[in-house]
């Protein structure tokens, strides 16, 4: 039985306490739709032979986002009830923890750039679970990717608020991943606190100066800093009888590390 539909709209709604994020929804959607339409049309004035070469170049490039390796993510979800086409799209971290094995699919994403980020996620990567469009938005938990991108079933369900009549099963438009709860953050990290650091880093330099949470506020799926795309590092830990027990970790990124360090700080 598929998981109930939840998560986002075509471009996540702006956080209620974040006035800088109030970008017109129609403007964001139009931009994404135009980007998708451009990928399906050759440049003006091109010949039919030019069309074939242009399409080949486009398919090989995979778009700018696909060229950049990312290691960590921020996933927005709405913890408060909100009806969309008669269906409550609420999904909080407590809802995730209540799922079998504390695991669920991250469905309902209907923004092309956010979808591309979903498709870039790798098994085992970690993400911040971010409560959005609520009284006090912010980061509440850590989750990890336990299944890489596959077709989002809600695009074919006519009863689902995220149904897309233009998507075909032989060539689905939308994808989702499976995520699993890892742990709650040691304390709630509010958007207002992250923004204060972002503004300070923007003025004087720092890891949060270009954080997408403030440059592309409406995206429900966001990467945290460009990754180094380096292999896992294996280090010996506790010595057991007859050998070592090994543990491993991923090299982390500046934004992720900095936000994670805020767990230990007292809010200003």
Domains of the chain: 72-232+250-263 (3.10.590.10)
Which pLDDT score, from 0 to 100, does residue 39 have? Answer: 42
What is the separation of C-alpha 73 from the centre of its chain, rounded to a whole number of angstroms? 6
- Region of 44 (left: φ > 0; alpha: ψ -120 to 50; beta: rest) is beta
What is the model's pLDDT at position 69?
Answer: 81
Taking the model in full, what pTM does it have?
A: 0.74
Determine the average pLDDT of the residues in 20-25: 32
What backbone torsions phi and psi does residue 110 show, to the nearest 5 degrees?
-130, 45
Which is more confident, 180 or 36? 180
User: Which pLDDT does position 227 carry in this prediction?
Assistant: 58
Query: pLDDT tier at 264 (50, 70, 90 boundaries)?
Result: confident
Picking from 85-89, 100-104, 228-232, 253-257, which range would have the lowest pLDDT averaged per residue?
228-232
In this prediction, residues 34-60 reach a mean pLDDT of: 42
pLDDT above 70 coverage of the chain, percent = 65
Q: 32: pLDDT confidence band, cut at 50, 70 and 90?
A: very low
What is the widest separation between alpha-carbon atoms in the chain?
A: 73
208 class by beta-carbon count within 10 Å (0-12 exposed, 13-18 middle, 19+ buried): buried
Q: What is the pLDDT of residue 248?
A: 44
Helix/strand/coil (H/E/C) assignment for every residue in the chain:
CCCCCCCCCCCCCCCCCCHHHCCCHHHHHHHHHHHHHHHCCCCCCCCHHHHHHHHHHHHHHCCHHHHCCECEEEEEECCCCCEECCEECCCCHHHHHCCHHHEEEECCCCCHHHHHHHHHCCCCCEEEEEECCCCCCEEEEEEEEEEEEEECHHHHCCCCCCCCCCCECCECCCEEEEEEEEEEEEEEEEHHHHHHHHHHHHHHCCCCCCCHHHHCCCCCEEECCECCCCCCEEEEEEEECCEEEEEEECCCCHHHHHHHHHHHCCCC
Q: Are the CB atoms for 129 and 142 separated by under 8 Å?
A: yes
In whole angstroms, give the CA distance from residue 137 to residue 190: 6
Average pLDDT score over residue span 81-89 = 94
Quote the pLDDT of residue 184.
Answer: 97
pLDDT score, position 253: 86
Q: Would you give the distance in Å from CA 137 to the centre of its chain?
A: 16
Q: Read off the pLDDT of each residue in 1-15 and give the average, rounded to a whole number.
A: 51
Q: Is the pLDDT of residue 127 over 70?
A: yes
């Amino acid at each position: 039985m598929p998981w109930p539909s939840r998560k986002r709209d075509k471009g996540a709604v702006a956080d209620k306490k974040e006035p800088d994020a109030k970008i017109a929804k129609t403007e964001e959607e139009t931009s994404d739709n135009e980007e998708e339409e451009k990928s399906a049309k050759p440049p003006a004035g091109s010949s039919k032979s030019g069309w074939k070469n242009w399409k080949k170049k486009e398919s090989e490039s995979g778009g700018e986002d696909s060229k950049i390796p990312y290691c960590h993510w921020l996933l927005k979800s709405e913890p408060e009830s909100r009806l969309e086409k008669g269906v409550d799209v609420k999904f909080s971290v407590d809802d995730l923890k209540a799922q079998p094995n504390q695991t669920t699919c991250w469905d309902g994403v209907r923004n092309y750039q956010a979808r591309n980020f979903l498709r870039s996620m790798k098994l085992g990567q970690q993400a911040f679970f971010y409560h959005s469009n609520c009284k006090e938005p912010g980061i509440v938990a850590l989750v990890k990717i336990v299944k890489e991108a596959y077709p989002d079933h809600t695009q074919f369900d006519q009863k689902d608020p995220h149904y897309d009549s233009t998507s075909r099963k032989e060539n689905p438009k939308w994808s989702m991943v499976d995520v699993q709860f890892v742990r709650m953050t040691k304390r709630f990290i509010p958007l207002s606190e992250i923004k204060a650091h972002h503004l300070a880093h923007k003025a004087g330099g720092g890891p949060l100066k270009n954080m997408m949470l403030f440059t592309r506020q409406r995206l429900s799926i966001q990467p945290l800093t460009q990754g180094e795309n380096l292999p896992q590092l294996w280090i010996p830990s506790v010595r057991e009888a007859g050998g070592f027990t090994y543990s491993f970790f991923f090299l982390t990124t500046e934004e992720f590390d900095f936000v994670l360090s805020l767990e230990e700080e007292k809010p200003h």
